[in-house]
Amino acid sequence: MGLVPLTNAKPYVFVEGLGEFKPKEAAIGQPCPLCQAGRDTAELVEQAARQHADVLAQHAQWEERLGQKLLLVQTRHVSIHTELKPADAKRVGEAVEEMAIRLQKAAASLAITPTRPAGYPQVLLWGEPSWVKFREAMERLYTPAQLGDDWQNAGKGNLYDHAAVAHCYLTAKIIREVPAEYFAVKLAASRQIWVASNRRAPAWLIEGLAGFAQQAVLGSVRVFTIYAQGRGPSKPVTLMDAARAAAAKQFRPWDKLLTRDLRDFEPADYAQSLAMVAFLLEDQPAKFLSFVELLKGNIACPAALEQAYGKPATDVEEAGTKWIARR
């Protein structure tokens, strides 16, 4: 559509009960000054208004399905249906919106944030009973095949980025250790790269971009997708931690991580994924976007990396190792 990120973008967050929705401020992007100069932005405002109308309808549906009142928060890219208090929910929305702005700035493109609020809902619940109720509602809506093979196992945790509706539950104990913003940012960032790659992003890329977003917005990475107790980091991770791990030669050769299944991740793999994505995205964003586009076209990850960067993956790894060491 010839759109580029907003110049000097300011976060926009709608919180139900805290003011009217403003479609002009909620519009995504702006016409490219080179190829779309003079284009009327009314269409973008209308799109934002239609998105909000659809989100309101979806919100009412979730309230009916769960038999309770929820609070609606909407950013330019995500709709959040939550039991959080308005002040807490607003902070969550602001963090998610800041995530989108940071990613767009790093990539100099909207391609890395493809979701729209009506197409990407999050449900943030309070307490395990609400989690159970929500899962029962999902089981009424979808067949076992639609819920997927991981559905039952996901019920043992508190966060699941399900393709239909990303959801998690929080408690006072959980948010004392990890603020609610981390969970929403983790879910939202994971979904951006998953959609941008047409569901073909490998595990390291999804975890790495989610980590990059948490680091950029909140200062560290605290929420990870972990399949087994003890297989994930035991403390928050930062790029400085990743640099130290790289210097200590705790990272795998890249070719061993490019196709590694998330179920087989070890703690150091999360830090390495963060470092790899930070390097690829910040050092040469245009090539990173080409890499994601090749993944979208169903090119295998190692081949896509080499094609996008125009050199063997080992050379990209060498450049990345030097970049990480300078952090």
Whether residue 19 contacts residue 90, with contact meaning beta carbons closer than 8 Å, is answered with no
Residue 39 has pLDDT above 80, yes or no: no
| Residues 59 and 150 grouped into a single domain | yes
CA 26 to chain centre: 19
DSSP string, 232-261: S-SS-B-HHHHHHHHHTT-SPPHHHHTT--
| Residues 207 and 242 grouped into a single domain | yes
Q: How many domains does the chain have?
A: 2
Give the pLDDT of residue 325. 85
3-class state of residue 178 by DSSP: coil
Q: How confident is the model at residue 195 (pLDDT cuts 50, 70, 90)?
A: very high
Give the pLDDT mean for 149-178.
Answer: 94
Among 140, 172, 196, identify where a domain stops: 196
The residue behind tokens 């508190």 is: 158
pLDDT, one tens digit per residue, over 62-100 is 999 999 999 999 999 999 999 999 999 999 999 999 999
d(CA 214, CA 211): 5
Instruction: State the sign of the Cα–Cα–Cα–Cα dihedral 131, 143, 115, 153.
Output: positive
In the numeric block, which tokens belong to residue 54? 């659809």
Give the pLDDT of residue 38. 63
| Residues 141 and 101 grouped into a single domain | yes
Is residue 82 within a helix (H) or strand (E), and if so which, with residue range?
strand 79-82
Q: How many CB atoms neighbour CB 77 within 10 A?
A: 25
Give the structural domain span for 47.
3-196
Residue 24 has pLDDT above 90, yes or no: yes
3-class state of residue 113 by DSSP: coil
Among 177, 196, 215, identify where a domain stops: 196
d(CA 26, CA 28): 6
| Residues 156 and 222 grouped into a single domain | no
| Residues 190 and 208 grouped into a single domain | no
Higher pLDDT, 277 or 156: 277
| Residues 16 and 153 grouped into a single domain | yes
| Residues 207 and 176 grouped into a single domain | no
Among 139, 168, 196, identify where a domain stops: 196
| Residues 41 and 111 grouped into a single domain | yes
Q: What is the CA radius of gyration of the chain?
A: 20
**Cβ-Cβ contacts under 8 Å for 326 (sequence gap 6 or more):** none
Beta bridge partners of 73: 15, 80
Give the pLDDT of residue 2. 78
**Biggest alpha carbon–alpha carbon distance for the chain:** 56
| Residues 239 and 114 grouped into a single domain | no
For helices 86-107 and 285-296, angle between their N-to-C axes, nearest 10 degrees:
100
| Residues 125 and 273 grouped into a single domain | no
| Residues 311 and 220 grouped into a single domain | yes
Smallest CA-to-CA distance from 165 within 209, 121, 131, 217 is with: 121
Give the pLDDT of residue 1. 54
pTM of the model: 0.95
Residue 164 CA neighbour count, 13 Å, CB half: 16
The pair phi, psi for residue 81, each rounded to 5°, is -110, 115
In the numeric block, which tokens belong to residue 81? 């249906």
pLDDT, one tens digit per residue, over 290-319 is 999 999 999 999 999 999 999 999 999 999
Give the pLDDT mean for 105-133.
Answer: 96
| Residues 228 and 183 grouped into a single domain | no
